[in-house]
A and B are shown apart, each in its own frame.
Chain A
Amino acid sequence: MGSSVSHAAAPPPPPPAGLAVALPPKAEEKSEKKVDYLNLPCPVPFEEIQREALMSLKPELFEGLRFDFTKGLNQKFSLSHSVYMGSTEVPSPSSGTIKVPTAHYEFGANFLDPKLMLIGRVLTDGRLNARVKCDLTDNLTLKINAQLTNEPHFSQGMFNFDYKGKDFRAQYQMGNNAFYGANYIQSVTPHLSLGSEVFWLGHQRKSGIGFAARYNTDKMVATAQAASTGIVALCYVQKVSEKVSLASDFMYNHMTRDVTSSFGYDYILRQCRLRGKLDSNGCVAAFLEERLNMGVNFILSAEIDHRKKDYKFGFGMTVGE
C-alpha cells in the first residue's frame, strides 16, 4: 500500500511564486522603459491645445430662454431647430457693453459622414453659418467656415488645410480680408509637445508669431501660449477622478492691459453635468445640464458679476441627441 500512501500525500502545492515573482520585475521594467523618440504619439491640433481647460471653464453661458430640438432623419442627416429669447451684450462706445433684447429662431441641417461633414445654420436675423469638414486623404483634411450676414463687410470665410503626420501636425489657413496663417505642433517627448504659429493680415499689414507648449500626463494637462500680439495664456487642468476635473487658467493681454484668471470645476455624472467657475474679475458662474429622460436635457445657466453688478440667469431645454 505504499503506492496509495504516496498518492494520498499529495505533492506539495507549487509555491505561490508565480504572482509574487511576476510583480516586482514588471515594476522595474516600467521604470527602465526607454523612450522611443521615433514613435511619439501624435499631438493634439494647435487650436485645441487648451481644449480640456476650455471645456471646463468656458461653458456656453447664456441669459434668457434657449430651446434646441434635433431630429435625425436617417443615420447621416439631421435637422435642428433652435429658439433663443434673451439679452445679448453689444459693445457700445460710451459705457462698455449694453444689453440688447434679442430673439431668434435658427434652422439647421447636418450631414455627418466619416469622411465628410456639412453643417449649415440660418437665423431669422439674416445670418448664415456654414461649416464643411472633408477628409481629402487619410492625413489631409480640409475645413471651411463661413459666416454671411446682411450687413456689408461683416461676412467672414476661412479655409483650413490640416496635415496630420506621425508625431506632428501642420495647418495652413486662408481667410477673407487677406488673412493667411500657418501653425505647426510637434511631439518632443511622450508627454511634451511644442508648437508655433504665424499669421499675416493683408489689409492691415500686420503679422504675428506665437509659441505654445503642452505637457500632459494621465492626471494633468498644463499648457502655455505666448504671442507677439501681447497675449500670454497659461492653463492647468487636473483630472481628479473619472467624474471630476478641476481647471485653472490665466490670460494676460499686454495691449489692453487686461488680466484674467479663473478657477473652475467640472463634474460629469450619470444624470447631469455641472460646471462652475470663479474669476479674478469678481465673476462667479455655473452651468448645469440635467438629463431628464433619454435625449431630453434641462439646462440652467447663471453668471453673477459682483464688480459690475451684472446678473444673468438662463434656462433651457435640449431635445434630441
Chain B
Amino acid sequence: MAPASSMEKIKEFLNSQIYDDDKWAVNSKLLGAAGLFAGSILFMRNFGDLMAI
C-alpha cells in the first residue's frame, strides 16, 4: 500500500472525530463553547461601546 498522504491522514482524522457518536458529543460542545468565546471577543472589541452607559 502506498503510504497515506498527509491530506488523507487529515481526512481520516476528521472523519473519526465527526462520525463517532461519543467524540462528536464532546466536539460539538467544544465547538459551541469556542464559538461563543470567539464571538463574544469579536462583539466586545467591535460593538462594546453599544453597551456603555
Contacts and interface: CB of A to CB of B under 8 A. Distances in A.
B53 A280 contact: no
A234 B34 CA distance: 10
A260 B36 CA distance: 10
Nearest to A267: B53
B45 A238 contact: yes
Interface string B1-43: 0000000000000000000000000100110111011001100
B19 to A, nearest CB: 18
A244 interface: yes
Given A240-B48, A241-B53, A246-B44, A280 B36 contact: yes
A259 interface: yes
Contacts of B51: 240, 244, 246, 265
A244 B40 CA distance: 15
B interface majority secondary structure: helix
A244 B52 CA distance: 6
A168 interface: no
A248 interface: yes
Given A240-B52, A243-B53, A261 B36 contact: yes
A82 B34 CA distance: 40
Among B26, B37, B49, find the residue whose CB has the most chain A CB atoms closer than 10 A. Answer: B37
Contact of B37 (A220, A238, A244, A248): A248
Among A234, A246, A260, find the residue whose CB has the most chain B CB atoms closer than 10 A. Answer: A246
A249 B36 CA distance: 9
Interface residues of A, number: 23
B30 to A, nearest CB: 5
Among B29, B30, B33, B49, find the residue whose CB has the most chain A CB atoms closer than 10 A. Answer: B33
A67 interface: no
A116 interface: no
Contacts of B34: 250, 259, 261
Nearest to A265: B51
Contacts of A249: 37
B44 A238 contact: yes
Contacts of A259: 26, 29-30, 33-34
Contacts of B29: 259, 280
A248 B41 contact: yes
A244 B53 contact: yes
A269 interface: yes
9 contacts: A236-B37, A240-B49, A241-B53, A246-B48, A246-B51, A248-B36, A259-B33, A263-B37, A280-B29
Interface of A: 220, 234, 236, 238, 240-241, 243-244, 246, 248-250, 252, 257, 259-263, 265, 267, 269, 280
User: Which 6 residue pairs spanning A and B have beta carbons closest together?
Assistant: A261-B33, A263-B40, A248-B40, A250-B37, A238-B44, A280-B33
Given A236-B44, A243-B53, 11 more contacts: A240-B44, A240-B51, A241-B52, A241-B53, A246-B40, A252-B33, A259-B26, A259-B30, A259-B34, A261-B37, A280-B29
